[in-house]
Amino acid sequence: MERARQLVTSKTFLIHFILIVGSIAMVVPFLWMILTSLKTYAESIHVPPVIFPEKFQWGNYKEIFELLPFFKFMLNTLIITIVRTVGQVFLCSLAAYAFARIEFPGRNFLFLLALAVLMVPGQVFLLPQYMIMVKLGWLNTLQAVIVPGLFSAFGTFLLRQFFMGLPKELEEAARLDGCNHFQIYWKIMLPLAKPGLVALGIFTTLWSWNELMWPMIVNSSPESMTLSVGLSSLQGQYLTNYPILMAGSFLAILPMLILFIILQKQFIEGIAVTGGK
């Protein structure tokens, strides 16, 4: 018995040991980001490094707003993220419901077309998408990032799987009551598909907030830049002033961090669902 217990504790110890070493590797970059963002420039390049700044330099956070239209970047990213997420979840769920629950001519063909988009790497769309934006005169506008992001083959596919897994009985009852398909979708199916909608919503939010290449291609003026692009422009200009760079980086990730802390369960389940199916 004694030996068995010892074996169990040493096993648990080993597990915790590995997990803690890994956790440190995960967390240190974030801590270093925050600590650096609160140092003076001199402290940041001191050798050996100063771990804790003598006095928290909150001024670095003020400075980033003076150096760059950082507030504008945040606002742009926020608008883009919200509109894309709400729009995409709505449009994808609408199409997904029809693909999952209504028989209509051409259903399989059209769904196959949507699936084809899933198989193709994003770079294949970029050039023609850019040309469309040029033709529409949408360069350096928020809609250049928002509009292509409203349509998603992935989201349609994901939600279709969800709708297909829901019971048919409720729907039949609603049809006998004379509800049309939109009413069934809106009143019955959407509430039932909530976990799927949340998963897609979280996925789209993360993606829109963090995306770099497309916003960088279409929006290069500070007026319409997103945070990712703003950060990438910062890098060249203030290459050495790391306290300010770190303050900017931390501010850029803070909203997603807060959202993650609030909706942790949904984030992790959402990734498991979107990834696992």
Partner 1 sequence: MKGIPQQVEVKANTKVKMSNLANTRKRSDYFWAYLMIAPTMLGLMIFYLWPILQTFYYSFTEWGAFGQYEWTGLDNYKRMIEDTNLIKSFKNTGIYIIFTVPIGIFLSILIAVLLNQKIKGKSIYRTLYFLPVITMPAAIAMVWKWLYNSDYGLLNYLLSLIGIKGPQWVSDPKIALYSLIAVAIWSGIGYNMVIFLSGLQGIPKTYYEAAEMDGAGPIRVFFKITLPLLSPVIFFVSIMSLIGAFQVFDLIFMMIGKSSTALENTQSIVYLFYQHAFVLNDKGYAAAIAVLLLVVILIITAIQFVLQKKWVHYD
Which of 62, 107, 187, 194 binds partner 1 (CB under 8 A)? It is: 107
- Positive or negative: CA dihedral 232, 236, 238, 239: positive
Residue 206 binding partner 1, by CB under 8 A: yes
CB of 224 to partner 1, least distance (A): 16
- 61 near partner 1, judged by CB under 8 A: no
Instruction: Pick from 68, 146, 209, 225 the residue near partner 1 by CB under 8 A.
Output: 209
Of 52-60, 103-111, 138-146, 192-200, the window that binds partner 1 (rule: CB under 8 A) is 103-111
What is the C-alpha separation between 54 and 227, in angstroms, rounded? 30
Instruction: Please state the closest distance from residue 179 (CB atom) to partner 1, in A.
Output: 11
Q: Among residues 1 and 265, whose Cβ is nearest to partner 1?
A: 265
Among residues 79, 86, 91, 198, the one that binds partner 1 under rule CB under 8 A: 91
| By the rule CB under 8 A, 178 interacts with partner 1 | no
Determine which residue in the list 75, 82, 262, 268 makes contact with partner 1, applying CB under 8 A.
268
CB 39 within 8 A of CB 50: yes
Would you say 38 or 231 has its CB closer to partner 1? 231
Of residues 109-168, those binding partner 1 (CB under 8 A): 110, 113-114, 116-117, 119-132, 134, 147-148, 150-153, 156
Task: Compute how many residues bind partner 1; rule: CB under 8 A.
Answer: 97
Does 253 contact partner 1 by CB under 8 A?
Answer: yes
**CB-based contact 185:100 (threshold 8 Å):** no
Query: Minimum distance between the CB of residue 67 and partner 1, rounded to whole angstroms?
Result: 15
Question: Measured from the CB of residue 127, what is the shortest distance to partner 1 in angstroms?
Answer: 6
Residue 207 sits in the site that holds partner 1 (CB under 8 A): no
Considering only residues 62 to 81 of the shown chain, the ones binding partner 1 according to CB under 8 A are: none
Q: Judged by CB, which is closer to partner 1: 56, or 257?
A: 257
Least distance in Å: CB of 88 to partner 1? 9
DSSP the chain: -HHHHHHHHHHHHHHHHHHHHHHHHHHHHHHHHHHHHTS-HHHHT-SSPPSS-SS--THHHHHHHHHS-HHHHHHHHHHHHHHHHHHHHHHHHHHHHHHHH---TTHHHHHHHHHHHHHS-THHHHHHHHHHHHHHT-TTSHHHHHTGGG--HHHHHHHHHHHHTS-SHHHHHHHHTT--HHHIIIIIIHHHTHHHHHHHHHHHHHHHHH--HHHHHH--STTT--HHHHHHHHHHHTTT-HHHHHHHHHHHHHHHHHHHHHTHHHHHHHHHHHHH-
> Of residues 180, 187, 195, 262, which one binds partner 1 by CB under 8 A?
180
